[in-house]
Amino acid sequence: MTTIAIVDYGIGNLRSAEKALQFVGADAFLTSDSARIAAAEAVVVPGVGNFGACMSALQAGGLAEVVRDCATSRKPFLGICVGMQMLFDGSDEAPRVPGLGVLKGNVKRLSDSERLPHIAWNTVAVSPDSRMFSGLGKNPWLYFVHSYAAVVTEESVTTHWTSYGHRFVCAVESGNVWATQFHPEKSGSVGLSLLENFVKAAS
């Protein structure tokens, strides 16, 4: 069984991610221990709420470095929601707090022309040859809860898109790093299939 460390830095509902990964056959466990994170075959970083609060909590737990190391290694890595946002250079939500800088770009607030937070199931326009969305069709439905989203400035990164007020990147694949603005662990059978793809990539 593939060992997957879910980075526990005291933020949010981590149980869902753990249970969902276990459901699709991974040996997933919550941990705040750098050594266990480094030793796992794959790493998942969830996150909800405020970008600055999440980054501070990650740093306070002494976990920012190991998370960055894992993301820049060849180890399969999945960031979810604010766990995706933290991979970028920074966020308008907390302008003075740098992100992990693993992916190029910044996180911006969604258009105020729509009700925020964006809480909804949306269809995702999947880019061709996606490993993350393999077997899920061209326009799968996934569950979103957020007010910010990444603006990706790196062309080599595969981007998947959805719309709320305007189009935005809702998932990326860049080598070993996968990240989703939506919550696969809360997106029913489609989300579970996506997590299964991640577990397969890690085994």
Partner 1 sequence: MRLIPCLDVDAGRVVKGIKFVEIRDAGDPVELALRYGDAGADELVFLDITASSDGRDTMLAVVEKVAENLFIPFTVGGGIRTVDDARRLLRAGADKVSFNTAAVNDPDLLARSADEFGEQCVVVAIDARRRNSSDPSAGWEVVTHGGRTPAGLDALEWAVEVCRLGAGELLVTSMDRDGTKVGYDIELLQEVGAITNVPVIASGGVGTLDHLVAGAVEGGAQALLAASIFHFGAHTIAEAKAHLALAGVEVRPV
Least separation in angstroms between CB 173 and partner 1 = 22
Cα gap 149→34, rounded to integer Å: 28
Set 81, 146, 160, 173: catalytic member: 81
Sites of contact with partner 1 (CB under 8 A) = 12-13, 15-16, 19-20, 23, 48-50, 53, 112, 115-117, 119-121, 141, 143, 145-147, 183, 185-189, 191-192
Q: Which two tokens stand for residue 1?
A: 């069984």
Q: Which two tokens stand for residue 93?
A: 């939500």
| Cβ atoms of 160 and 127 closer than 8 Å | yes
Q: Does residue 185 carry a catalytic annotation?
A: yes
Least separation in angstroms between CB 27 and partner 1 = 16
Beta-sheet pairing, 177-180 with 166-174: antiparallel
Residue with smaller CB distance to partner 1, 118 or 160: 118
Set 18, 93, 173, 185: catalytic member: 185
Residue with smaller CB distance to partner 1, 38 or 145: 145
Kindly list the distances between the CA atom of residue 10 and the CA atoms of 18, 51, 110, 142, in Å, as whole numbers in the listed order.
14, 14, 26, 25
Q: Does residue 70 carry a catalytic annotation?
A: no
Task: Please state the length of the chain.
Answer: 203
Residue with smaller CB distance to partner 1, 70 or 194: 194
Q: Does residue 118 carry a catalytic annotation?
A: no
Least separation in angstroms between CB 176 and partner 1 = 25
Residue with smaller CB distance to partner 1, 39 or 119: 119
Angle between helices 188-202 and 15-23 (to 10 degrees): 70
Cα gap 144→202, rounded to integer Å: 25
Catalytic residue IDs: 81, 183, 185
